[in-house]
Structure 1
């Protein structure tokens, strides 16, 4: 799999992935992404900032992710303690095609985000999720992240993790 910068003409496919992920989370009983976020405006902003990436496998778009090096303002109000205070990469809005779930692609996305960070000499990777999102929590912990505390984002409490890379 590889990552490619998303462009405006990919917006329809990205929104299909996002909306399918919302439905999947709902079917799993997860409240995350059930109030409209992420919406088209969020994705358009990612694309405008150059932080939106397509996940490409076998020449097909199988996912979308925001990989940001500018920081997350909500992380400044962590209830807990980060492992470090250095610059970091953060992953948001990861959505994989329904036919690609369970095949290890999310871990590959995390590895590719780490590689992008290391190319920029960034050695911290932060991520958050809802407490009831057991699938994402498992992915995060399986990939070596450590629980650091909680933050408030999108009007709900999120659990926050960091991995030193």
Structure 2
């Protein structure tokens, strides 16, 4: 498997993966991603900012997500808590796994790859938000040692905010 920056040639495959993830959220009873976001414009913006990453194998893309090495404005106003750190951080958004990757732990691998990339850039904090009812992502946060820090307002709704300090 290979972790790399996504390219414009990947857009169709990424969009297919996101559509599967959107439907999966709906099937799980989650309200997350049920309002037209993420969409193809989200992918384009991730590509334009250099934030789009994929994990692929010899058959194609297994996972997609954005690793944003910049300030997330919504994270400036955390409620009912506080961040663990105040320095530079990477934000992970829009993580989605292909249907064929089910059971492979590919989302966990995506997080591990972004953490390694952050450390290579001397950034030792990863911040993430997710919906209260996204049980799959909440399990990943717990499994990988992310700490609940409070709530942030993102995309028109309140989200659970997590941070992991890397060593």
TM-score by length of 2: 0.95
Query: How far has the Cα of 1:101 moved from its partner?
Result: 2.2
For 1:58 and 1:44, how far apart are their aligned partners in 2? Answer: 24
Other-structure match for 1:110: 111
For 1:75 and 1:102, how far apart are their aligned partners in 2? Answer: 31
Secondary structure at the counterpart of residue 99 of structure 1:
helix
Q: Kindly provide the CA deviation profile for residues 33-92 of structure 1, in whole angstroms up to 9, marking residues without a partner as x.
A: 000001111110000111101111345211111011112110001111000101001110
Q: Kindly provide the CA deviation profile for residues 1-54 of structure 1, in whole angstroms up to 9, marking residues without a partner as x.
A: 321111112111111011110001100000100000011111100001111011
Other-structure match for 2:31: 31
Matches within 5 A, 1:11-50: 11-50=11-50
Query: How far has the Cα of 1:98 moved from its partner?
Result: 1.0
Other-structure match for 2:65: 65
- RMSD across aligned C-alpha pairs, in angstroms? 1.0
For 2:96 and 2:44, how far apart are their aligned partners in 1? Answer: 15
Instruction: Give unmatched runs, 5+ long, in structure 1.
Output: none
Instruction: Give unmatched runs, 5+ long, in structure 2.
Output: none
For 1:109 and 1:63, how far apart are their aligned partners in 2? Answer: 7
For 1:70 and 1:113, how far apart are their aligned partners in 2? Answer: 14
For 2:2 and 2:93, how far apart are their aligned partners in 1? Answer: 17
Is the counterpart of residue 125 in structure 1 residue 126 in structure 2? yes
Runs of 4+ in 1 over 3 A off after TM superposition: none
For 2:67 and 2:51, how far apart are their aligned partners in 1? Answer: 5
For 1:74 and 1:102, how far apart are their aligned partners in 2? Answer: 32
Residues 6 and 54, structure 1, Cα contact 8 Å, conserved in 2: yes
**More divergent stretch after superposition (52-61 vs 5-14):** 52-61
